[in-house]
Amino acid sequence: MANSQFERFIGVDYSGAKTSASRLSAIQVYLSDGGREPTLVSSPFSTAGGTRNWCRQEVAEFVIAEARSGRPLIAGIDHGFSFPLSYFRKYGIDSWSSFLEDFCASWPMTRNDVTVDSVRKRDEDPPRVGEPDALRLTEKWTPSAKSVFLFDVQGSVAKSTHAGLPWLKHVRDKAGELLHFWPFDGWCVPPGKSVIAEVYPSIFRRRYSTAERTPDQQDAYSVARWLSDADKSGTLSRYFDPPLTESERATANREGWILGVT
């Protein structure tokens, strides 16, 4: 497509329920190829004639495989990619890469015998936690985003964030230079580079007809559709450069940013 930065657009509606190997109907993936209408992507292990739900491990491996395809893509995933600056200060962490290392040591969520709830209830060596009212700067810029530490409430992203962060590290370790983790690897995305970014489907879901999609499917669809539409119109690059002050940008270099929030 003329003037397009990417060839494939992936929307992932995530879930932090159960274990990394648990197949969850709440995990949905949509993909737009070449700017065409996004279509539902079934788990690679789907059976013939039927759809098999995704697990978190498969989502990570799918993103890695797509990055290795050589076709520039952008994937939007529906969970927090980092924590508020107060958490960094509390535990003496100075960068996002260090944060991922430190977090995974406390929350071993890539193990198939671990759940978010089991880690939260751990008496010996309790996990590192933050305050439930702590917000990142990007969340303060949205009217309804909740803290990544606020568990057990409607619309919470805490469980999916805590379950998903170790898989981000896994993807980063395996994909290496193939993926640009925005904005941690830089606010400006180099030409031809594939991107993985945090998204908040509530921003987009009402822009598009739901057709016969479930709410989780609609969230994944709307992310893929918006990414494709924004790229096609030439406006996506604007969202890679939100109007932040120098101080705000320094904060977001560690806290991350929700793509589409301006």
User: Does any domain span residue 1?
Assistant: no
Q: Which residues of the chain have pLDDT under 50?
A: 1-2
Report pLDDT digits (tens) over 8-25: 999 999 999 999 999 999
Which range of residues forms the domain containing residue 193?
A: 8-255
Are 56 and 160 in contact, with CB atoms under 8 Å apart? no
Tell whether the torsion through CA atoms of 192, 175, 184 and 28 is positive or negative.
Answer: positive
pTM of the model: 0.95
SS3 107: coil
User: Does any domain span residue 229?
Assistant: yes
Looking at residue 185, what is its pLDDT? 97
Looking at residue 156, what is its pLDDT? 84
User: Does any domain span residue 175?
Assistant: yes
Partners of 8 in the β-ladder:
33, 73
Looking at residue 50, what is its pLDDT? 59
Give the C-alpha distances (Å, rounded to integers) separating 226 from 121, 129, 165, 249.
38, 33, 24, 24
- Across the beta sheet with 8-13, the strand order is 39-40, 28-33, 8-13, 73-77, 194-198, 179-181
User: Does any domain span residue 3?
Assistant: no
Amino acid sitting at position 30: Y
User: Does any domain span residue 260?
Assistant: no
Looking at residue 1, what is its pLDDT? 43
User: Does any domain span residue 45?
Assistant: yes
Looking at residue 135, what is its pLDDT? 97
Q: What is the number of domains present in the chain?
A: 1
Diameter over CA atoms, the chain: 57
User: Does any domain span residue 28?
Assistant: yes
Q: Whole-angstrom Cα distance, residue 13 to residue 196?
A: 14
User: Does any domain span residue 261?
Assistant: no
The two structure tokens encoding residue 158: 């805490």
Q: Which residues make Cβ contacts (< 8 Å) with residue 213, sequence separation at least 6?
A: 221
